[in-house]
Protein backbone atom coordinates (compact mmCIF):
# COMPACT_ATOMS: atom_id res chain seq x y z
CA UNK A 1 0.00 0.00 0.00
CA UNK A 2 1.38 3.37 -0.97
CA UNK A 3 1.30 6.31 1.46
CA UNK A 4 -1.17 8.03 -0.85
CA UNK A 5 -3.66 5.14 -0.84
CA UNK A 6 -3.28 4.84 2.94
CA UNK A 7 -4.19 8.53 3.30
CA UNK A 8 -7.26 8.03 1.09
CA UNK A 9 -8.40 5.09 3.21
CA UNK A 10 -7.88 7.13 6.36
CA UNK A 11 -10.02 9.94 4.89
CA UNK A 12 -12.71 7.40 4.04
CA UNK A 13 -12.54 6.02 7.57
CA UNK A 14 -12.80 9.54 8.99
CA UNK A 15 -15.93 10.24 6.88
CA UNK A 16 -17.50 6.99 8.08
CA UNK A 17 -16.75 7.69 11.74
CA UNK A 18 -18.18 11.24 11.42
CA UNK A 19 -21.34 9.75 9.91
CA UNK A 20 -21.62 7.10 12.61
CA UNK A 21 -21.20 9.70 15.35
CA UNK A 22 -23.96 11.80 13.78
CA UNK A 23 -26.20 8.73 13.53
CA UNK A 24 -25.74 7.93 17.22
CA UNK A 25 -28.51 10.38 18.14
CA UNK A 26 -32.16 9.23 17.91
CA UNK A 27 -33.41 12.67 16.81
CA UNK A 28 -30.98 12.67 13.89
CA UNK A 29 -32.12 9.21 12.83
CA UNK A 30 -35.72 10.44 12.96
CA UNK A 31 -34.76 13.38 10.74
CA UNK A 32 -33.15 11.04 8.22
CA UNK A 33 -36.34 8.96 8.33
CA UNK A 34 -38.28 12.04 7.20
CA UNK A 35 -35.74 13.02 4.55
CA UNK A 36 -35.88 9.54 3.01
CA UNK A 37 -39.11 10.72 1.38
CA UNK A 38 -37.48 13.78 -0.20
CA UNK A 39 -36.86 17.45 0.52
CA UNK A 40 -38.36 18.87 3.72
CA UNK A 41 -38.42 22.40 5.15
CA UNK A 42 -36.94 22.81 8.62
CA UNK A 43 -40.27 24.23 9.81
CA UNK A 44 -41.97 20.95 8.93
CA UNK A 45 -39.18 18.88 10.44
CA UNK A 46 -39.52 20.47 13.86
CA UNK A 47 -43.32 20.21 13.69
CA UNK A 48 -43.23 16.54 12.66
CA UNK A 49 -40.77 15.66 15.41
CA UNK A 50 -42.51 17.90 17.97
CA UNK A 51 -39.21 19.54 18.94
CA UNK A 52 -38.26 23.23 19.16
CA UNK A 53 -36.97 24.79 15.93
CA UNK A 54 -33.51 25.59 17.39
CA UNK A 55 -33.14 21.93 18.39
CA UNK A 56 -34.05 20.77 14.89
CA UNK A 57 -31.60 23.26 13.38
CA UNK A 58 -28.80 22.10 15.69
CA UNK A 59 -29.35 18.46 14.72
CA UNK A 60 -29.55 19.37 11.03
CA UNK A 61 -26.27 21.26 11.34
CA UNK A 62 -24.64 18.14 12.80
CA UNK A 63 -25.99 16.02 9.95
CA UNK A 64 -24.79 18.59 7.42
CA UNK A 65 -21.32 18.73 9.00
CA UNK A 66 -21.15 14.93 8.80
CA UNK A 67 -22.03 15.13 5.09
CA UNK A 68 -25.34 13.31 5.49
CA UNK A 69 -27.70 16.12 4.45
CA UNK A 70 -27.63 19.04 2.05
CA UNK A 71 -29.46 22.30 2.54
CA UNK A 72 -30.69 25.12 0.37
CA UNK A 73 -32.22 28.45 1.28
CA UNK A 74 -35.33 29.79 -0.38
CA UNK A 75 -36.12 33.22 1.03
CA UNK A 76 -36.28 32.78 4.78
CA UNK A 77 -36.84 29.00 4.60
CA UNK A 78 -34.22 26.26 4.75
CA UNK A 79 -34.89 23.01 2.92
CA UNK A 80 -33.00 19.78 3.59
CA UNK A 81 -32.42 16.62 1.57
CA UNK A 82 -30.31 13.54 2.02
CA UNK A 83 -26.87 14.23 0.58
CA UNK A 84 -25.69 12.16 -2.35
CA UNK A 85 -22.98 9.82 -1.15
CA UNK A 86 -20.25 9.24 -3.74
CA UNK A 87 -18.63 6.60 -1.53
CA UNK A 88 -20.41 3.25 -1.89
CA UNK A 89 -19.79 2.19 1.72
CA UNK A 90 -21.19 5.43 3.12
CA UNK A 91 -24.13 5.28 0.70
CA UNK A 92 -24.90 1.76 1.97
CA UNK A 93 -24.71 2.96 5.56
CA UNK A 94 -27.12 5.88 4.98
CA UNK A 95 -29.52 3.75 2.92
CA UNK A 96 -29.57 1.07 5.61
CA UNK A 97 -30.20 3.54 8.42
CA UNK A 98 -33.01 5.34 6.57
CA UNK A 99 -34.55 2.03 5.58
CA UNK A 100 -34.42 0.61 9.11
CA UNK A 101 -35.74 3.87 10.57
CA UNK A 102 -38.79 3.43 8.35
CA UNK A 103 -39.67 0.30 10.31
CA UNK A 104 -39.79 2.16 13.64
CA UNK A 105 -43.18 3.22 14.96
CA UNK A 106 -41.69 6.56 16.04
CA UNK A 107 -40.63 7.40 12.49
CA UNK A 108 -43.99 6.21 11.13
CA UNK A 109 -45.72 8.67 13.47
CA UNK A 110 -43.26 11.43 12.46
CA UNK A 111 -44.04 10.77 8.79
CA UNK A 112 -47.78 10.89 9.43
CA UNK A 113 -47.43 14.26 11.17
CA UNK A 114 -45.36 15.51 8.22
CA UNK A 115 -47.99 14.28 5.77
CA UNK A 116 -50.73 16.07 7.71
CA UNK A 117 -48.69 19.30 7.88
CA UNK A 118 -47.66 19.32 4.22
CA UNK A 119 -50.55 17.48 2.59
CA UNK A 120 -47.92 15.43 0.81
CA UNK A 121 -47.05 11.78 1.25
CA UNK A 122 -43.48 11.31 2.43
CA UNK A 123 -43.69 7.57 2.91
CA UNK A 124 -42.03 5.71 0.08
CA UNK A 125 -44.57 3.11 -1.08
CA UNK A 126 -44.60 0.76 -3.97
CA UNK A 127 -40.90 -0.06 -4.02
CA UNK A 128 -39.84 -3.68 -4.16
CA UNK A 129 -38.27 -4.96 -0.94
CA UNK A 130 -34.64 -3.89 -0.79
CA UNK A 131 -33.54 -5.94 2.19
CA UNK A 132 -34.58 -9.10 3.98
CA UNK A 133 -36.62 -7.32 6.68
CA UNK A 134 -39.18 -6.37 4.02
CA UNK A 135 -39.40 -9.71 2.27
CA UNK A 136 -42.54 -11.53 3.37
CA UNK A 137 -41.81 -14.76 5.19
CA UNK A 138 -43.16 -17.94 3.60
CA UNK A 139 -46.60 -18.75 4.95
CA UNK A 140 -47.53 -15.13 5.73
Tell me the average pLDDT of the chain. 86
Distance CA 118, CA 65 (A): 27
The mean per-residue pLDDT over the stretch 115-122 comes to: 75
Tell whether 139 is covered by a domain: no
Tell whether 25 is covered by a domain: yes
Helical pair 3-23 and 53-65, crossing angle rounded to 10 deg: 160
pLDDT tier at 26, thresholds 50, 70, 90:
very high
Task: Please give the model's pTM, rounded to 2 decimal places.
Answer: 0.82
Quick check: 127 pLDDT over 50?
no
Tell whether 98 is covered by a domain: yes
Give the domain CATH number at 28.
1.10.10.10
**For residue range 78-87, what is the model confidence (pLDDT) as tens digits?**
999 999 999 9
Which range marks the domain in which residue 57 is found? 3-121
**Residue-level pLDDT at 2:** 66
Tell whether 127 is covered by a domain: no
Bridge partners, residue 70, by sequence: 81
CB count in 10 Å sphere of residue 84: 9
**For residue range 87-106, what is the model confidence (pLDDT) as tens digits?**
999 999 999 999 999 999 99
Where on the phi/psi map is residue 27: left (φ > 0), alpha (ψ -120 to 50), or beta? alpha
Tell whether 134 is covered by a domain: no
Q: Rounded to an integer, what is the distance from CA 91 to the centroid of its chain?
A: 11
Tell whether 47 is covered by a domain: yes
Quick check: 17 pLDDT over 60?
yes
Tell whether 126 is covered by a domain: no
Tell whether 137 is covered by a domain: no
Q: Per the structure, how many domains does the chain have?
A: 1
The mean per-residue pLDDT over the stretch 108-124 comes to: 79
With vertex at residue 72, the alpha carbon angle to CA 59 and CA 27, rounded to the nearest 5 degrees, is: 15
Distance CA 115, CA 89 (A): 31
Bridge partners, residue 81, by sequence: 70
**For residue range 46-74, what is the model confidence (pLDDT) as tens digits?**
999 999 999 999 999 999 999 999 999 99
Amino acid sequence: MTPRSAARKDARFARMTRALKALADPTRVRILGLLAGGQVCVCHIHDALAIPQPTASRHLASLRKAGLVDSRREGTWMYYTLAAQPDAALRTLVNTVTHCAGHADTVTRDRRRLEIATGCCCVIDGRPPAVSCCTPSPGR
